[in-house]
Amino acid sequence: MIGIIDYGMGNLHSVLKAFEHVGADVEIITSAAQIDAADKIVLPGVGAFQDAIRTLHEKELAAAIIESVRSGKCFLGICLGLQLLFDVSFEDGEHQGLGIIPGKVKRFDFSTHPHKDILKIPHIGWNSLKMRNGCPLYREVADGSFVYFVHSYYVVPDDSSVIATTTEHGIEFVSSIHRENLFATQFHPEKSQRVGLQMLANFASL
Protein backbone atom coordinates (compact mmCIF):
# COMPACT_ATOMS: atom_id res chain seq x y z
CA MET A 1 0.00 0.00 0.00
CA ILE A 2 1.16 3.53 -0.87
CA GLY A 3 0.48 5.97 1.95
CA ILE A 4 -0.04 9.65 1.10
CA ILE A 5 0.74 11.73 4.19
CA ASP A 6 -1.96 14.24 5.15
CA TYR A 7 -0.50 16.97 7.35
CA GLY A 8 -2.89 19.68 6.20
CA MET A 9 -0.74 21.18 3.43
CA GLY A 10 -0.92 18.80 0.49
CA ASN A 11 -2.95 18.59 -2.71
CA LEU A 12 -4.14 15.19 -1.54
CA HIS A 13 -7.19 14.68 -3.75
CA SER A 14 -5.28 15.17 -7.01
CA VAL A 15 -2.42 12.93 -5.89
CA LEU A 16 -4.78 10.23 -4.65
CA LYS A 17 -6.85 10.24 -7.86
CA ALA A 18 -3.74 10.15 -10.06
CA PHE A 19 -2.39 7.08 -8.25
CA GLU A 20 -5.80 5.43 -8.40
CA HIS A 21 -5.89 6.15 -12.14
CA VAL A 22 -2.73 4.08 -12.67
CA GLY A 23 -4.13 1.22 -10.57
CA ALA A 24 -2.12 1.75 -7.39
CA ASP A 25 -3.26 0.63 -3.95
CA VAL A 26 -3.20 3.97 -2.16
CA GLU A 27 -4.54 5.50 1.06
CA ILE A 28 -4.45 8.84 2.87
CA ILE A 29 -2.53 8.44 6.14
CA THR A 30 -2.23 10.79 9.12
CA SER A 31 -0.12 9.13 11.81
CA ALA A 32 3.39 7.85 12.48
CA ALA A 33 1.99 4.34 12.95
CA GLN A 34 0.43 4.45 9.47
CA ILE A 35 3.73 5.65 7.99
CA ASP A 36 5.43 2.66 9.59
CA ALA A 37 2.78 0.29 8.23
CA ALA A 38 2.73 1.58 4.63
CA ASP A 39 4.84 -0.12 1.97
CA LYS A 40 5.68 3.19 0.24
CA ILE A 41 5.31 6.81 1.28
CA VAL A 42 4.32 9.97 -0.59
CA LEU A 43 4.85 13.41 0.95
CA PRO A 44 3.03 16.08 -1.08
CA GLY A 45 2.88 19.72 -0.12
CA VAL A 46 1.95 23.25 -1.05
CA GLY A 47 2.40 26.40 1.01
CA ALA A 48 5.02 27.77 3.37
CA PHE A 49 8.05 25.72 4.45
CA GLN A 50 7.97 27.04 8.04
CA ASP A 51 4.34 26.04 8.58
CA ALA A 52 4.89 22.63 7.02
CA ILE A 53 7.95 21.62 9.05
CA ARG A 54 6.32 22.86 12.27
CA THR A 55 3.19 20.83 11.54
CA LEU A 56 5.20 17.67 10.77
CA HIS A 57 6.88 17.95 14.16
CA GLU A 58 3.67 18.83 16.02
CA LYS A 59 1.90 15.80 14.55
CA GLU A 60 4.94 13.61 15.35
CA LEU A 61 5.36 12.71 11.68
CA ALA A 62 8.87 14.06 11.07
CA ALA A 63 10.74 11.30 12.88
CA ALA A 64 8.61 8.62 11.21
CA ILE A 65 9.34 10.07 7.76
CA ILE A 66 13.08 10.14 8.45
CA GLU A 67 13.03 6.55 9.72
CA SER A 68 10.99 5.32 6.76
CA VAL A 69 13.57 6.69 4.32
CA ARG A 70 16.47 5.30 6.34
CA SER A 71 14.80 1.89 6.46
CA GLY A 72 14.86 1.66 2.65
CA LYS A 73 11.15 2.21 2.10
CA CYS A 74 10.35 3.84 -1.27
CA PHE A 75 9.57 7.50 -0.75
CA LEU A 76 8.26 10.19 -3.11
CA GLY A 77 8.26 13.89 -2.22
CA ILE A 78 6.27 16.33 -4.35
CA CYS A 79 6.86 20.12 -4.55
CA LEU A 80 7.12 21.28 -0.92
CA GLY A 81 7.59 17.60 -0.10
CA LEU A 82 10.92 17.84 -1.96
CA GLN A 83 12.04 20.99 -0.18
CA LEU A 84 11.24 19.63 3.29
CA LEU A 85 13.85 16.87 2.81
CA PHE A 86 16.71 19.38 2.90
CA ASP A 87 18.73 20.80 5.79
CA VAL A 88 17.53 24.39 5.66
CA SER A 89 15.16 26.70 3.80
CA PHE A 90 15.54 30.45 3.46
CA GLU A 91 11.84 31.06 2.89
CA ASP A 92 10.79 33.96 5.18
CA GLY A 93 13.84 33.55 7.38
CA GLU A 94 15.94 30.46 8.05
CA HIS A 95 14.20 27.21 8.98
CA GLN A 96 15.57 23.75 9.60
CA GLY A 97 14.16 20.96 7.42
CA LEU A 98 14.16 17.19 7.88
CA GLY A 99 17.87 16.97 7.05
CA ILE A 100 17.56 13.82 4.94
CA ILE A 101 19.33 15.38 1.95
CA PRO A 102 22.24 17.77 2.66
CA GLY A 103 21.66 21.15 1.05
CA LYS A 104 19.42 24.20 1.11
CA VAL A 105 16.28 25.73 -0.37
CA LYS A 106 16.64 29.14 -2.03
CA ARG A 107 14.31 31.66 -3.66
CA PHE A 108 14.64 32.54 -7.32
CA ASP A 109 16.36 35.93 -7.64
CA PHE A 110 16.36 37.55 -11.05
CA SER A 111 17.14 41.07 -9.88
CA THR A 112 20.40 41.18 -11.89
CA HIS A 113 19.32 38.85 -14.69
CA PRO A 114 19.38 40.40 -18.19
CA HIS A 115 15.84 39.08 -18.78
CA LYS A 116 14.47 39.99 -15.35
CA ASP A 117 11.44 41.75 -16.87
CA ILE A 118 10.07 38.53 -18.37
CA LEU A 119 11.17 35.98 -15.75
CA LYS A 120 8.24 35.52 -13.39
CA ILE A 121 8.23 34.47 -9.75
CA PRO A 122 6.56 32.17 -8.92
CA HIS A 123 7.56 29.90 -11.77
CA ILE A 124 4.15 28.64 -12.95
CA GLY A 125 3.30 26.42 -15.88
CA TRP A 126 4.82 23.82 -18.16
CA ASN A 127 8.57 23.37 -18.50
CA SER A 128 10.89 20.63 -19.70
CA LEU A 129 13.11 18.15 -17.90
CA LYS A 130 16.76 17.44 -18.63
CA MET A 131 17.55 13.92 -17.42
CA ARG A 132 20.72 13.46 -15.39
CA ASN A 133 21.18 10.16 -13.54
CA GLY A 134 19.01 7.41 -15.03
CA CYS A 135 16.39 7.67 -12.30
CA PRO A 136 13.87 4.77 -12.47
CA LEU A 137 11.03 7.23 -11.86
CA TYR A 138 11.53 8.28 -15.50
CA ARG A 139 11.33 4.87 -17.15
CA GLU A 140 9.54 5.36 -20.48
CA VAL A 141 9.63 9.15 -20.01
CA ALA A 142 11.53 10.96 -22.76
CA ASP A 143 14.30 13.45 -22.06
CA GLY A 144 12.82 16.92 -22.62
CA SER A 145 9.32 15.94 -21.47
CA PHE A 146 7.18 18.79 -20.13
CA VAL A 147 5.78 18.81 -16.61
CA TYR A 148 3.82 21.31 -14.50
CA PHE A 149 5.46 23.63 -11.96
CA VAL A 150 4.20 26.07 -9.31
CA HIS A 151 7.02 27.35 -7.07
CA SER A 152 9.15 30.31 -6.01
CA TYR A 153 11.91 28.30 -4.30
CA TYR A 154 14.27 25.61 -5.54
CA VAL A 155 16.65 23.12 -3.92
CA VAL A 156 20.45 23.19 -4.01
CA PRO A 157 21.86 19.79 -3.00
CA ASP A 158 25.39 19.62 -1.59
CA ASP A 159 25.94 16.37 -3.50
CA SER A 160 25.30 16.73 -7.22
CA SER A 161 24.99 12.95 -7.64
CA VAL A 162 21.42 13.10 -6.26
CA ILE A 163 20.25 15.35 -9.11
CA ALA A 164 17.83 13.40 -11.33
CA THR A 165 16.63 16.25 -13.55
CA THR A 166 17.23 19.93 -14.11
CA THR A 167 15.03 22.61 -15.69
CA GLU A 168 15.67 26.09 -17.09
CA HIS A 169 13.93 29.12 -15.62
CA GLY A 170 16.39 31.99 -15.67
CA ILE A 171 18.90 29.54 -14.24
CA GLU A 172 19.30 25.78 -14.53
CA PHE A 173 17.72 24.57 -11.30
CA VAL A 174 17.26 21.11 -9.79
CA SER A 175 13.77 19.91 -10.66
CA SER A 176 14.01 16.43 -9.10
CA ILE A 177 16.33 14.25 -7.05
CA HIS A 178 16.96 10.53 -6.59
CA ARG A 179 19.04 8.68 -4.02
CA GLU A 180 18.54 4.94 -3.64
CA ASN A 181 14.94 4.51 -2.38
CA LEU A 182 14.21 8.24 -2.26
CA PHE A 183 12.62 10.22 -5.10
CA ALA A 184 11.36 13.80 -5.03
CA THR A 185 10.15 16.29 -7.63
CA GLN A 186 9.76 20.06 -7.60
CA PHE A 187 7.06 19.74 -10.25
CA HIS A 188 3.65 18.10 -9.82
CA PRO A 189 3.42 14.66 -11.49
CA GLU A 190 -0.28 14.51 -10.60
CA LYS A 191 -0.87 17.63 -12.73
CA SER A 192 1.46 16.63 -15.58
CA GLN A 193 -1.00 14.55 -17.60
CA ARG A 194 0.30 11.44 -19.39
CA VAL A 195 3.95 12.05 -18.50
CA GLY A 196 3.18 12.51 -14.82
CA LEU A 197 0.94 9.45 -14.71
CA GLN A 198 3.80 7.38 -16.15
CA MET A 199 6.04 8.57 -13.31
CA LEU A 200 3.46 7.66 -10.69
CA ALA A 201 2.97 4.25 -12.31
CA ASN A 202 6.74 3.76 -12.23
CA PHE A 203 6.85 4.64 -8.53
CA ALA A 204 3.96 2.29 -7.76
CA SER A 205 5.74 -0.57 -9.55
CA LEU A 206 9.11 -0.16 -7.79
> What gap in Å lies between CA 78 and CA 175, rounded to an integer?
10
Q: Considering only CA atoms, which of 205, 156, 166, 157 is closest in space to residue 187?
A: 166
Active site residue 190: yes
> What gap in Å lies between CA 168 and CA 175, rounded to an integer?
9
| Residue in 91, 95, 151, 190 annotated catalytic | 190
| Residue in 151, 169, 178, 188 annotated catalytic | 188
Active site residue 188: yes
Cβ(153)–Cβ(97) below 8 Å: no
Q: Considering only CA atoms, which of 181, 70, 164, 190 is closest in space to residue 62?
A: 70
Query: E strand or H helix at 202, and its extent?
Result: helix 193-205
Please tell me the total number of residues recorded for the chain in this structure.
206
Cross-strand bridge partners of residue 41: 3, 75
Active site residue 79: yes
| Residue in 74, 79, 135, 169 annotated catalytic | 79
Instruction: List b or e across 140-160, with b for residues whose CB sees 16 or more CB atoms inside 10 angstroms.
Output: ebeeebbbbbebebbbebeee
Q: Annotated catalytic sites, by residue? A: 79, 188, 190
